[in-house]
Amino acid sequence: MYAYNVFRSTGPDGLSCAVPEERSVPSFVTSPLWQFEGRVEGAEAPLGFDGRAAMAGVRFNGFYLFASFESGSSNE
């Protein structure tokens, strides 16, 4: 598995973009609507990240877009 740099959309859509460290960051991620979330590797991946889907996304696009979720949140 790659080590990924993860960027999160600042909008309410919950989108995240994972980019392997060896790859260039897509230009849309450098806009003010995205912020760097951190580096992940292996089991550290955020909730909603699918390693197999990430590999396919990177193969075709150079990055992987996914819906991220925050663990431990509740709507009581």
Domain CATH number, residue 31: 3.10.510
State mean pLDDT over 43-60: 88
Is the pTM value of this prediction over 0.85?
Answer: no
Judged against a pLDDT cut of 90, whether residue 48 lies above it is answered with: no
Answer whether residue 11 is part of any domain: yes
Answer whether residue 72 is part of any domain: no
48: Cβ contacts below 8 Å, ≥ 6 apart: 16, 66, 67, 68, 69
Answer whether residue 73 is part of any domain: no
Count up the domains in the chain and report the number.
Answer: 1
pLDDT value, residue 41: 85
Answer whether residue 52 is part of any domain: yes
State mean pLDDT over 4-30: 92
Q: Band of the pLDDT at 76, cuts 50, 70, 90? A: very low
Which has the closest alpha carbon to 6: 72, 67, 76, 60? 67
Answer whether residue 76 is part of any domain: no
pLDDT value, residue 75: 44
State mean pLDDT over 48-54: 90
